[in-house]
Amino acid sequence: METQTALFDEHQIRRVYDEAAEIWWFSVVDIVQVLTQQPDYQAARNYWKVLKNRLGKEGSELVTKCNRLKLTAADGKKYLTDVATAETLLRLVQSVPSPRAEPIKLWLAKVGYERMQEMADPALSLNRARETWQQHGRSEKWIQQRMLGQQTRNKLTDYWSEHDIKKGEEYAILTNIIHQEWSGVSVKSHKGLKGLSTQNLRDHMTEAELIFTALAELSTRQIAESVEATGMGENQQAAKTGGAIARKARQELEERTGTKVVTGDNMLPPSKSAKKPLTPKKS
């Protein structure tokens, strides 16, 4: 995951997008520095360290909901940094006495505003996505397949959320299992194959890759439903089985056509496209 920044009153708030889990993670210290108006990053780190310790002793779940990810620092190097979702940060802000608390809360709410709109009216999300894909020159056939695949994905994550799977790391683990099983490569390796960094992998899949991804996720959900899979252990097994069904279909198609399904093809602008890597061996 590549570090990006979002601006609040000229302050850079670092964040990364977890594509598999479909959530943004924001740097806690960056938010704390804005709230406390500390003169430098180290002072903000010290403030957060003390606050984190106090919240931990009080048994606050806010600390346990923070994650640690590698973010790019001012020196250009990556360091493990405490991060949290906008939802967690909105609650954390309440623990910091600051005149800037309300502006930060409004800013965090604005960051997630479109997402909240889309949750209330899913059609907005589909319309925005369709317009974006059209602007990038995607064909109507590709767009239709992409949207159908997203609907399949949503049904699977709905099942997970109702059967003791936590959004975030556990979504990412299961997603990667499914992808590895059907394609023979991990999500990260597939993005590398296509020369992608922060881009959404599915937005750069070929029609065939989208179809097999959807087949794998559809199979996973139906298998999970058939056995009422609950928790990580049972859903991991469903993910492996569902992915394997799509893998067999992929291998049969490749044998009959002599063409690989998983490729390094992407839809990046020509000037930004990296040299196309070699495609993996058939698995």
pLDDT per residue as tens digits for the range 63-97? 888 999 988 887 778 889 999 988 889 888 888 88
* Mean pLDDT, residues 146-172 taken together: 91
Res 260: pLDDT:
97
Task: Report pLDDT digits (tens) over 95-136.
Answer: 888 888 888 888 887 776 555 455 445 555 667 677 778 877
How crowded is the C-beta side of 119, counted as CA atoms within 13 Å? 6
Spatial distance between the Cα atoms of 197 and 99, rounded to a whole number of angstroms: 37
149 pLDDT above the threshold of 80: yes
Count other C-beta atoms under 10 Å from residue 98's C-beta.
Answer: 14
Q: Which residue has the tokens 């020509």?
A: 270
Locate the domains of the chain by residue range: 4-111, 140-257
Cα-based angle 247, 137, 214 (whole degrees, multiple of 5): 20
193 pLDDT above the threshold of 90: yes
Of residues 120 and 61, more confidently modeled: 61
Res 130: pLDDT:
79
Comparing 67-71, 128-132, 171-175, 213-217, which segment has the lowest mean pLDDT?
A: 128-132
* Mean pLDDT, residues 233-262 taken together: 98
* Mean pLDDT, residues 161-179 taken together: 93
Res 72: pLDDT:
86
CB 16 within 8 A of CB 71: yes
Looking at the chain, the whole-number percentage of residues with pLDDT higher than 90 is: 52
